[in-house]
Amino acid sequence: MENNKKLTIHHLFWYFLIFSVFGLIIETIYCYISSGTLESRKGLLWGPFCPVYGVCGAALIYILYKLKYKGVVKLFLAGFIFGSIAEYLLSYGLEAVYGMRFWNYEYLTYNLNGRISLIFSIYWGVLSIILIKFAKPLIDKMVDKIKPNKIKIIDLGIFIFLFIDCLVTIWGIQTYQNRVLYNKEYRAESNNIISQLRENIENNYFTNDRISRTFPNLRIKNENGEEVWIKTLINED
């Protein structure tokens, strides 16, 4: 039966993948409806992924499944609490890695340090009910159709791609940050092919236009301690 089914790393990995994609779609639609602006809400440079939703979705399923919460009220309350904690910790983690914040809820009523807000915590509660009651069974059926002899190859291939994607994203954002905030650009000082390749990628691929369009809501604190959009600093140059 579903409730007795073992929760494997393979399944958790696919929860992460699927929720990363669907989370991106839902947030893009939500932001378009609420602001009338269609913009990228991606979390990685390559592919339609927003890992925040993937991590939170997979973590919620793991926690709620292990605690065997089945009632709607318990699912909502647990999702409200654990989803908020996960989002808060991810906000800190991403800021530690990238040196800047990807979202800020200070414009919303009842927020905590701009990292989580009441309305999004409620969304996590509702999402938890949907995850356990509907999404998890459907995803499990789909994932279980993958042939056992191909599972490791497929999972490893996707994992390697995402790992490289994360490294490239960090590299691109740091290049963007150095160029816009500190007026630094890498210049190859020799004919070394590695140095020239790096210069070419940073100057021609990690352009201000590409990074600002992919991550339009990147923020950093200015000299006054106020958070500002990096893209606005480009316009001021």
- Residue ranges per structural domain of the chain: 2-143, 149-236
The length of the chain in residues reads: 237
Handedness of CA 48, 53, 59, 63 (dihedral sign): negative
The first and second tokens of residue 224, run together, are 């006054």
Phi, psi of 223, rounded to the nearest 5 degrees = -65, -20
Q: Provide the residue-wise pLDDT of the chain in tens; the chain has 237 residues.
A: 445 567 889 999 999 999 999 989 988 998 888 778 888 989 999 999 999 889 888 988 888 887 776 788 888 998 899 889 988 998 888 788 766 777 788 888 899 988 899 998 998 899 889 888 888 889 999 888 888 888 999 999 999 999 999 999 999 998 988 888 778 888 877 778 889 999 999 999 999 999 989 998 887 766 666 667 777 777 544
> Is 167 buried (19+), middle (13-18) or exposed (0-12) by CB count in 10 A?
exposed
The alpha-helical segments, DSSP class H, found in the chain are 9-35, 51-67, 72-98, 118-130, 136-143, 148-181, 193-204, 208-214, 230-236
Say what the pTM is: 0.80
Cα 35 from chain centre? 20
